[in-house]
Amino acid sequence: MKNSKADYHIPVLLKPSVDGLNVHPGGVYIDLTFGGGGHSAEILKRLGSKGKLFAFDQDLDAQKNAFEDKRFKLINANFRFVAQFMKAEGIDKVDGILGDFGVSSHQFDEAERGFSTRFDAKLDMRMNQSQKLTAAEIINNYPEEELRDLFYKYGELRNAPVLARMIVDEREKKEIQTSGELKELLWPRLFRGRENKILAQVFQAIRIEVNQEIEVLKELLLQTEDLLKPGGRLSLISYHSLEDRLVKRYIRNGMFEGEPERDIYGRFYVPFKKVGKMIKASAQEIKQNPRARSARLRIGERLADEK
């Protein structure tokens, strides 16, 4: 097994997230978000010779970090297709699924990818660089009401109407091509002292739309009930409230909205049980890796089906 690039992505909540999988030496596991391979490397340390780990990453850059290990396979695909690929591999059930959602350190630090507010780069933000939809397409072509709605929904921005109107007014004069141009346009109308935070929320909203992150997460969660063996574990790290809320509700109720339907005796079935409390990064980890500050880890265990 070769080492991944140390600077590609620092694995967040490494020990608690892999501990949460309760790895069995001969088990089959999935790392949904391979990145620099930090979580995968830790899982492989705990697997025996008969264990198996499948990892997913749609970013071609991550393929450079693949391990040379007969127990390991890296699949260049979005994890929304996890069940389809497992079926193709002849895998019916697995023992654990780990996901570290959000943008990798590598993606944030590569200026040309356009994820960070720190750089002036083309408006891109694609995790899968072969897809057509980019941030520039959204900023320059979405109707004003759609821009407003995505800033409300994915950025949780109260001043969404103002931001949407400013973008539409500006693009009527000239196309907005770079993150620097977008930042320069919005900065004067952001709340004083909170400019960087609000700008990060704007970029988050655009990125989520570009990559369909909420829809992809929902699709993934709905597949886990059938993929996991009874006793199998979900160990999922989220970075913003929209993701964390979905993960929390799904582990608790097996659904994203409402409550499970009860029978005439008041009983109800849910596919998972919560394991422990939500886990945050320690002060020491945040000092070493500031991006761990917003991380939230939730663990669920697959219950046996009702007979």
pTM above 0.85, yes or no: yes
Dump pLDDT digits (tens) for 255-272: 998 777 777 777 778 999
| Nearest in space to 165 (alpha carbons), one of 184, 137, 145 | 145
For residue 195, the tally of other CB atoms under 10 A from its CB is 16
Instruction: Give the residue extent of every domain in the chain.
Output: 14-105+213-302, 111-211
Dump pLDDT digits (tens) for 195-238: 888 998 999 999 999 999 999 999 999 999 999 999 999 999 99
Fold observed for domain 14-105+213-302: Rossmann fold (3.40.50)
| Nearest in space to 56 (alpha carbons), one of 179, 227, 249 | 227
Enter the DSSP assignment of 122: B
SS3 88: helix
Q: Which CATH superfamily hosts domain 111-211?
A: Putative methyltransferase TM0872, insert domain (1.10.150.170)
Amino acid occupying residue 199: L
DSSP conformation letters of 169-208: HHHHHS---BHHHHHHHHGGGSPTT-HHHHHHHHHHHHHH
Amino acid occupying residue 63: Q
For residue 284, the tally of other CB atoms under 10 A from its CB is 9
